[in-house]
Amino acid sequence: MPQADAVLAVCAHPDDETFGLGALLAGFADRGAAVSLLCFTRGEASTLGLGGRDLGELRVEELRAATRELGVGRVELGDHPDGRLGEVPLELLAGEVASMISEVHPDLLLVFDEGGISGHPDHRRATEVAVAAADSANVPVLAWTLPEEVAATLNAELGTSFIGRGGPELDLVVEVDRARQRKAISAHRSQSSDNPVLWRRLELQGSLEVLRWLRPPSTTAR
């Protein structure tokens, strides 16, 4: 795990911070880093967890509970349209990231890989704007990704569209403890209770996460 005193995660939806980045965020927090999160939407467009309550409100509550489990000290939540982040001007979203950077002074940003892991356009947009803001602020950007063999297995078994990486595309392989991540997943009950893809992915990954630098520390001079 890279050394960092402060980490800022940038995500599109409530649960991205847990299902994808959860073990990493908990790992940084356990090592004493101040961990913050900027989430652009309230996840109201999900097809999971539909019921009698407003889904956006429910998912915000789940996000708050999950981030407490992960040790995230600060959460900033946007109200941009779920599923339509691409319609929001890049400059506006990047400005929100830049504002957070100026307040929490992160040593690195943590994001989903280019391609959004699953190809989701909101995931791709969140990473795009995070990198744009990091370029202006001269901050490294570390991306969570999947091993290409894990992505291929999920796509074959479950008909998903995960994008994996391998070989020279990968910069770091880290061992993680998923205990806090699993507790945080339980907090996102509306999205995790009927989610076989999530559980199969975690099974295939075991205790390892793979990462790649989208903006390496060597390009910065802070």
Confidence of residue 52 (pLDDT cuts 50, 70, 90): low
> Within a domain: residue 42?
yes
> Within a domain: residue 218?
no
- The token pair at 80 is 């941009």
Q: What was the pLDDT predicted at 192?
A: 86
Contacts of 39 (CB under 8 A, 6+ apart): 11, 12, 13, 14, 16, 17, 63, 75, 76, 77, 78
> Within a domain: residue 221?
no
Confidence of residue 133 (pLDDT cuts 50, 70, 90): very high
Confidence of residue 222 (pLDDT cuts 50, 70, 90): very low
Domain range spanning residue 23?
A: 6-213
Contacts of 64-68 with CB under 8 Å at 24 or more apart are 65/184, 65/187, 66/14, 66/15, 66/17, 66/18, 66/22, 66/184, 66/185, 66/187, 66/188, 67/17, 67/18, 67/37, 67/184
> Within a domain: residue 26?
yes
CATH code of 34's domain: 3.40.50.10320
Quote the CA–CA distance of 173 and 135 in Å, as a whole number: 25
Specify the number of domains making up the chain.
Answer: 1
> Within a domain: residue 1?
no
- The token pair at 10 is 């940038």
